[in-house]
Amino acid sequence: MKIHFIGIGGIGTSALAQYYLAKGHDVSGSDLVSSEITDFLEKKGVKLLKQIPKDVELVIYSPAVSNPPAGAKSYPEFLGELTKKYFTIAVSGTHGKSTTTAMIALILIKAGFDPTVIIGTKLKEFGNSNFRMGESKYLVIEADEWQASFLNYWPKIIVLTNLEREHLDYYKNLNHVLRTFREYIKHLPENGVLVANDDDKNINKIFNFQFSIFNKFSIKQKEAKKLRKILKVPGEHNVYNALAALTAARALKIPDKISFRALSEYRGAWRRFEEKELRIKNLKLKIISDYAHHPTEIKATLKAAREKFPDKIIWCLFQPHQYQRTFYLFDDFVKVFSGASVDRLIITNIYDVAGREKKEIKKKISSKKLIKKINKPWAIFLPKEKIKNYFINNLKGGEVVMIMGAGDIYKLFYEL
């Protein structure tokens, strides 16, 4: 079959393209911009085109595409069809989805389950890919809540990491988020398994008598202490992610010995506390790229950095992702950065997400307003084009530099 993907550079869409490529289909794709993901797909045999081929039999588009052609199907719709064909384990929640999905996948591989995996980041263990083709009945996916995409999925196991206000360009408020998650959980069959964070107050709000029995995990359980010792990825949030993975593995009757070994070997993912040693003008630095873009994620990541590097000078460069997120969560951003244990904060221009921004909100918000409200002498605004020279001229050597955001700021990580 000839299949064409619109927005093929998207982290989910690109994984689905690899699935159909692995199944022997003729796969092509298009995107507004080229990236390392589109380059990777091209090397694997995907044809990158500017137009949809005339003889194509199926067109699949990314949810970020605002005007899909008639007859095309969305990525969530098609992934939903796959979830019905496999024994699907879906990882959902506001934060920690990618890491938890990776951990579960690696446990299943170690246990000999040979899963197919679709994940929202690249893993070293998958050859720096966001996809793994397995031969078994098991499918592990990262199930995103944006635009209620996960309502297309029909998993046998749902893992819930945490819940809070997010994607307020789609959801009206927290109650809307909770109602949608409640509807999603109803997709579980009678013998399905729900793995949920018992320490999360919002998760506990969404259960009624229908969901009274589920597999809970908590930072208070004894396994948390062992995980703190063996995990290579830092931070309490990653202990939670590992507990979620361990609980899901237990639901599949995987021995703890296998799970702990897999978790101890997990090396982290692309843009998730990704560390590199760096030299600028013969000055040695530690540079860390992280995808954190929600206030809660930023707080957890900066806390993990301070715990790992207690005596180091820490710089944080943050690129806000989306005007609407910055507007709706403005006070939360201010609170997190004002109380952050960093020595220098640089906030650059807001990353404009094409097709998802409202003009009236763009006029109301800016990174300069955020810096003004934070009102700290160690917090400054810098346009993106001036950051590299600022680093070169002001770093003294020995600092830890955090580059944070879900936009394109990570490219500076590679440029440096």
3-state secondary structure of 339: coil
- The whole-number average pLDDT for the span 391-413 is 89
Closest CA to 11 of 149, 156, 108: 149
Please, what is the average pLDDT of the chain?
91
| Alpha-carbon span 219 to 243, nearest angstrom | 8
Q: Summarize pLDDT for 192-246 with one digit per residue, the tens.
A: 999 999 999 999 888 754 544 469 999 999 999 999 999 999 889 999 999 999 9
Percent of the chain having pLDDT more than 90?
69
Q: What residues are paired with 90 via a beta bridge? A: 141, 158
Q: Which pLDDT score, from 0 to 100, does residue 262 have?
A: 97
The CATH class given to the 274-415 domain equals: alpha beta
Question: What are 155's two structure tokens?
Answer: 């998993």
Instruction: Name residue, tokens 């934060």.
Output: 95
Q: What is the pLDDT of residue 116?
A: 97
Q: List CB contacts of 176: < 8 A, sequence separation 6 or more.
A: none
pLDDT higher than threshold 90 for residue 184: yes
What pLDDT was estimated at residue 260? 98
- Residue whose entry in the numeric block shows the structure tokens 């993901």: 37
Name the fold adopted by 2-73: Rossmann fold (3.40.50)
Sign of CA dihedral 314, 320, 325, 331: positive
Residue 212 has a pLDDT of 43
Highest mean pLDDT among 30-44, 271-285, 315-329, 346-360: 315-329
For residues 224 and 244, what is the distance between their CA atoms, to the nearest angstrom?
11
338 Cα distance to chain centroid:
25
| pLDDT 10s digits, 111-164 | 999 999 999 898 988 988 999 999 999 999 999 998 899 999 999 999 999 999
Query: Residue 235's CB: how many other CB atoms inside 10 A?
Result: 21
Phi, psi (deg, nearest 5) at residue 269: -125, 170
In the chain, domain spans: 2-73, 86-265, 274-415
For 237, residues 6+ apart whose C-beta sits below 8 A from its C-beta are 95, 96, 297, 300, 301, 304
242 versus 352: which is more confidently predicted?
242
| Residue 208: predicted pLDDT | 58
pLDDT digits (tens, 9 = 90+) for 58-71: 999 988 888 888 88
Tally helices (H) and strands (E) across the chain. Answer: 16, 18
Beta strands, E only, 253-293: 274-280, 283-290
Distance CA 118, CA 121 (A): 9
Q: Which tokens go with 57?
A: 């039999």
Q: Report which of 76, 119, 111 is spatially closest to residue 291, judged by C-alpha positions.
A: 119
Classify residue 321 by its DSSP letter. B
* 318 pLDDT tier (thresholds 50, 70, 90): very high
DSSP 85: H
In this predicted structure, what is the pLDDT of residue 61?
92
Provide the token pair at 122: 């690249």
The CATH number of 86-265 is: 3.40.1190.10
**pTM of the entire predicted model:** 0.87
Give Cα separations from 264 to 83, 184, 234, 258 (angstroms).
29, 32, 12, 10
Return d(Cα 332, Cα 318) in angstroms, integer.
15
The pair phi, psi for residue 378, each rounded to 5°, is -95, 10
pLDDT at 196: 95
Burial class (CB in 10 A: 0-12, 13-18, 19+), 278: middle
Beta pairing, strands 283-290 & 274-280: antiparallel
Distances (CA, A) of 325 to 297, 331, 405: 13, 11, 12
- Angle at which helices 256-265 and 97-110 cross, to 10°: 120
In this structure, the number of other CB atoms found within 10 A of the CB of residue 275 comes to: 14
Q: Are 230 and 263 in contact (CB under 8 A)?
A: yes
Structure token digits, residue 28: 């092509």
pLDDT of 261 higher than 70: yes
